[in-house]
Structure 1
Amino acid sequence: MTARRLLALGALVLALAPTLGPTAAHAAADGSIEIQLLEAPESRRDDPRALAYIVDHLHPGDTIERDFAVTNHTDRRQRVRLYAGPAEIRDGQFIGDEAGTSNELTSWVSVSRSRVRLAPGETTEQTVRVEVPPDAARGERYAVLWAAVRSHGGGDVRLVNRVGIRLYLDVGRGGEPPSDFSVDEIVPGRNASGQPTLTAQVTNTGERAIDVRGEVRLRRGPGGLSAGPFEVASGATLAPGDRGSVAIALDKSLPAGPWRAKFLLRSGRVVHRAAATVTFPTSGTGAAVTPRDADPTDAASGTGSPWTDPWVIGTVTVGLGLLLALLLLRRRRRVAAAPPAPGGGP
């Protein structure tokens, strides 16, 4: 069963670029073609990756279908070709191969219509179908559902512009293999323009590909300063066992530190928090720091658990002492003002 949804973040717009980066939240009204996933499995409704990509675990012989939309944001009528192409994960990126190539997964994929004509501003809804053969071997496979158009680039040169939706399809009997990753170290640095940066080195410790994104907050800086959250500038797509980096660019006006850097990184349902004390170098790359797991309350609020702060503990203690003293004083005044009992008794 699937839950139909309009997924504004499911569109991935490219132009002559085989690398499929993170999804983009825009209306693609810049003279481009947009492709958008319209539904995701009920079992993955809490998985952000499944809202943007086709991510699933299937048994040999299974079949799935997903609806998607293609919109023409150009100012002229377009003939759009819809097809599946192979992909691979390399150097921390999800890369779609050139047109005309294929792999095992693409042979399992079909589209309700392979070619559509769209007027300016027109949208068409189509269905992609994946049929896994009964004798399919265990393992995860990658592909891209492409929407491609041809255009003149001047003279006799014709350009092919493509936009796509990633496919991560794992095949095997039984339940889905686990997904997980570790945050190994945090490296402060500065780029060529002097902007401070933080890079988290991560390792895919699970059995499925991951797309690591997230944010960082800075706390306990010079003079008690805080900053952030800062979103990941470039994430990492990692196959099982791969190691890569997640880079975050920070505000150029930030002082060198030291700072308490608190990362919140996620891939789908998998979330990891890590914290480390860092100081930005004057240039280049600083010393790598091994992070510790951040307290969930700490990462969620971005400020740390207030009950572990010595200043807060001291303030609360003094406040409770004053409150207790006031209560005792009021009690004594009430006793002193009470009339004597008849007969001199207590």
Structure 2
Amino acid sequence: MLLRLTAPATAILASQDVTETITAVTQAADDALCDDAGLLADGIPLLLLADASDAPDTALEFGAVRTRNRSLIRGGLEHGRGRQIMHVLSDVDAASPVLIVDTRNTAPSGEVYRTLLERVREGAAIAVADHPHWWDQGRGLLTDLLARPLTATALGRDVPTPLATDIALSPKAWRTVRAQWTRLSPELRSCAGGHGIAPLLLQAAATTGPVVAVRVPNPAGHPEPRLVDLPRIWRDVAPLLLNQAATRIPQTVELALPRLATRRVHAEEITARRERLADLARPGTPTPWSTAVAGAWHTIATASPANAREAADVVIDAAERLWPEFVHQARHALQLGADSSSTQRQQQRHRWATDVITAITQ
């Protein structure tokens, strides 16, 4: 039985120059919200475009879609997915559940969006889309090596896709997110204003109720970030993940095997990626990955900063020191994965993530 809330849902579409995908994403979100409207006695769901495009094309494409629900455009926003989302939350009714969708998705699914909202209607604080990810993808490496084990040990639950970009939030959850955003130091708020919004949404929502993963059979249609963009993604995401060490007591959690999608990648491409990764970090003698992550966690957990600025500096410095270790481990994972079967890749990633949890909690 779905819970009846006092307001229809709002879908937030954070966009930046996505003219090729915005129409299909808008139509899929509109379809999902139409089903949501049927649960309510009155009120019309809202499609809310949070646009940071440098040109008007994306907003024009969005406005041209014939939706059955209300639509609203907030344009001229500052670049950064997190900043866009936080800016438009002021337009959301306080009692409305929120659906946040990735406007870069080349294969948007109204069914997935609908299911995310249903899980929130049923009582989840946050519902996240759980897609399998390609074994050789940079974002997948960041998930398996860092985001998943740190999220698990901090929250005490296994969230397979803590960096998901298609999610739904209960009214209480997104209001808590907004409150926590205002309490972040300027340095960490800058991280959350970009790719770091994903861990912030999850961490804040988890304090208000259950976290539910909506299992999706196929890899998402989200574009793979270029390796050259990986340092910027790291600078946004890693501090928000490590910041949990300042307030959370680490817990031992048993992880399920990661869901890795398999595709053929030529050996020459793996070599090229490993070389590009090597160019992104200073050389040095690597520390075992689990030891390096645990060291960063305990540095933050045992610090005694005098103020919020110093606390943020400790976290950001720990993330920067961990970056070369991540590069080494990612290169190792690519090389090992290229010579392994699908099952072996799963077991390798699972072992590395489990070792991180063990190193932090022992």
Same fold (TM over 0.5): no
- Name which structure has the greater RCO, CA cutoff 8 Å, separation 6+: 2
Structure showing the higher helix proportion among its residues: 2
User: Scaled by the length of structure 1, what TM-score is found?
Assistant: 0.30
